[in-house]
Structure 1
Amino acid sequence: MTEQGAQAALEASGLAYEMVRHGVVHSLEEAAAARAVDPSAIVKTIVVRRADDDYVFVLVPGDRTIAWPKLRALLDVSRLSMPDASTARDVTGYERGTITPFGATHPWPVIADGRIRGRTVSIGAGAPGVAATVDGDALIKALEATVADVTQ
């Protein structure tokens, strides 16, 4: 997939967004500065494998990480894993670092950490240095995400 695919999916979702383009960044802090947001407002999209050919997207605030026990409990599974880069590309259509639910090759379920609600956030838009600034509540609604406390 490409930035154009993600943007087309954003348009189709009806979600109001502002596209932000910036140069290559090498850290959360650099990305936050380039997007003029707090690091906690950056939303990382993590693809997680729960079984053979069964994945979920987990939306994680930039300053947090997945709390694996919480996520396993939510999904009622004993084991989860992160796919390697090649598999992640195959199941999403995006390279690591550019993964977004918007325009992905498969509409995997989305789980959003509750800290995304009630604020403006910045989510990757399918290419390096491209992000969409959106309302967190509207993002959750557009993606029909399950909201839960899944980070630490």
Structure 2
Amino acid sequence: MTPAVRLLESHDIPHDVTAYELDAASESYGLDAARALSLNPAAVFKTLLAQLDDGRLVVAMVPVDATLDLKALAKAAGARKARMADIAAAERSTGYQVGGISPLGQKKSLPSFIDASVLTLDRVHVSAGRRGLELTLAPTDLIALTQAGTHPLARRQEAP
């Protein structure tokens, strides 16, 4: 059981935990989860860590079929610039391994931001804190537990 699952259970929050087989060759863990579990990629959110220009780390959650708009994240966080945090800092701060970082149950409580598209969903899927393990819960519960602000953070590729 991961810290994310323990957190949900300690708050009696309804959730599902689903294991899936990992594609050893892939590094797109979120898209792998969506494919393996036959989920809409727009409802599966990846958890990313970014560093603001003042040095603070923040958590950003966006659908796995999109990329994080770092300018939008910086604006939401009240900073001028943001960049992706390095892997060691992300793992040290969260206590999770990259590819299995959950927005829940992290070692350090960090400011969190989630793409506003989550508000259109009945259920959202996020990492349970280990590669190959996914959590499903209500978006309102995810927002409440992470104290995340909702902002337009996702950038999608235009179809050719």
Task: Determine if the TM-score, normalized by the shorter chain, exceeds 0.5.
Answer: yes
Q: 1:37 to 1:13 in 2, by over 3 A?
A: same
**Mapping for residues 3-152 of structure 1, pairs under 5 Å:** 3-25=1-23, 26=26, 27=28, 28-50=30-52, 51-52=54-55, 54-119=56-121, 120-152=123-155
| Separation (CA, whole Å) in 2 of partners of 1:114 and 1:4 | 27
**Which one has more relative contact order, counting CA pairs under 8 Å at least 6 apart?**
1
Amino acid at match of 2:5: Q
TM-score (norm 1): 0.89
Q: Aligned-pair distance for 1:18?
A: 0.4
TM-score (norm 2): 0.85
Q: Aligned-pair distance for 1:58?
A: 0.6
Q: Aligned-pair distance for 1:29?
A: 4.1
Judge which range, 20-29 or 81-90, deviates more.
Answer: 20-29
Q: Aligned-pair distance for 1:151?
A: 1.6
Please list the CA deviations of residues 66-88 of structure 1 after superposition, one character each: whole Å capped at 9, or x if unmatched: 11221222222222122221111
| Separation (CA, whole Å) in 2 of partners of 1:68 and 1:145 | 16
Amino acid at match of 2:73: L
Judge which range, 77-86 or 42-51, deviates more.
Answer: 77-86
| Separation (CA, whole Å) in 1 of partners of 2:152 and 2:43 | 16
The RMSD of aligned alpha carbons is 1.6
Please list the CA deviations of residues 30-70 of structure 1 after superposition, one character each: whole Å capped at 9, or x if unmatched: 32122221111111001111233x21111101111111221
Structure 1 stretches (4+) deviating beyond 3 angstroms? 27-30
Gaps of 5+ in 2: 156-160
Gaps of 5+ in 1: none
Q: Quick check: 2:51–2:85 contact (8 Å CA) kept in 1?
A: yes
